[in-house]
Amino acid sequence: MVVNKHKDIIIDKYNEYDEDGRLIRDRARNIEYLTTMRYIQKFLKPKAKILEIGAGTGRYSLALAKMGYDVTAIDLTPKHVEIMKRKSRRLKNFQCMVADALDLSMFKNNSFDMVLNLGPMYHLFHQKDKNQAIKETLRVAKRGAVCMFAYLSHSSIVTGYGLRYNKVADVYALMDKTGRIKDTPKEVFTSFYVEDFKKQFTKTNTSYITNVAVDGIAYAMQDLVAQLSNKSYKAFLEWHFMTCERPDQQGFSSHLLYICKKK
C-alpha cells in the first residue's frame, strides 16, 4: 500500500485550520468556489457517479449530492470526514471516508464518470507521489470521464503569501534559480509552474481539455475585491469568467484547475 509519508504534517495543519469556512470566508475565496463549480457543472452528465479526492469538508461534494448526483468523497484528515458525515446524515446518495489519494484500492478500475482531485496535489512533495496520485485518479475514472486536478502556482505563493505577510525573503530562500519553489514538507504546501504541471500528463492516457485560473488575481488582491460595490464585483466576476482560461491569467492565480479526459 502506497501512503503519503508526510500525512501527519498535513493532518496537523488542517486540524488547526478552518477549511470548512475557507471558500465562503470572503469574496476572493468564493471566486475559487464559483469558478470550480462552474466547470464541474459544465462537464457533468446526468446521473453521473462522482468521486472527489481530497474533499476537505465537502463543500463541492455535498453541493453535488444535493443536486442529485451519486457522490463519494474521501479526505486524508479525519476531522474533515467527521464534518462531512455530520452534514450528510439525510443524504442517501453520498458517502465519505478517510483515505489517501496515493491508494484508492477500495475502488475498482473504471468506476466513476467524473473524478475531482481538488486537494492532494497541494501536499505531495515527491514526483513519484505526484505521479501515483495522478495514476490512481485516472485508474478509477471510466473511459471518457472528465478528471480535474487542482494545484497551486509558484507565483501566487510570492504574491498571496510573501507580499501580504512580508515573507518574500522567506519564500525566496526556498526557490531555485528559475523561481521554482522547492518541495519542502515542513512548509506543508507545494506549487508548480503551469507548464510543469501539464508535463506530468504527457505519458498518461488522457486528452487535454483546458487549464483554468480559478481565482485569478482575486486572492492576491483580496482587500481590493472586498471593497468593490456589488455592481463592480459582479462585473469583475463576469470578466474573470471570460478570461480565466487565457494563458495571461494563469501564473498569478493562487489556485488552478487542470482538466482532462480519460481516453
Cell 451519486 -> residue: 70
The distance of Cα 98 from the centroid of its chain, to the nearest Å, equals 17
Give pLDDT tens digits for 238-251.
999 999 999 999 88
pLDDT tens sequence across 106-128? 999 999 999 999 999 999 999 99
Q: Identify the pLDDT of residue 241.
A: 98
pTM of the model: 0.96
Cα torsion for 29, 32, 35, 39, to the nearest 10°?
-150
Rounded CA separation 149/157 (Å): 18
The C-alpha atoms of residue 88 and residue 138 are separated, in whole angstroms, by 26
Predicted local distance difference test score (pLDDT) of residue 1: 73
Positive or negative, the CA dihedral 41, 46, 47, 51 is negative
Structural domains of the chain, with CATH: 7-262 (3.40.50.150)
The conformation of residue 61, written as its DSSP 8-state character, comes to H
pLDDT at 225: 95
User: Which residue stretches of the chain have pLDDT < 70?
Assistant: none
Pairing mode, strands 49-53 and 112-117:
parallel
Burial of 209: CB neighbours in 10 Å, binned 0-12, 13-18, 19+: middle
Tell me, what DSSP letter sits at residue 175? B
Side by side, the strands of the sheet bearing 255-262 are: 94-98, 70-75, 49-53, 112-117, 141-152, 255-262, 206-213
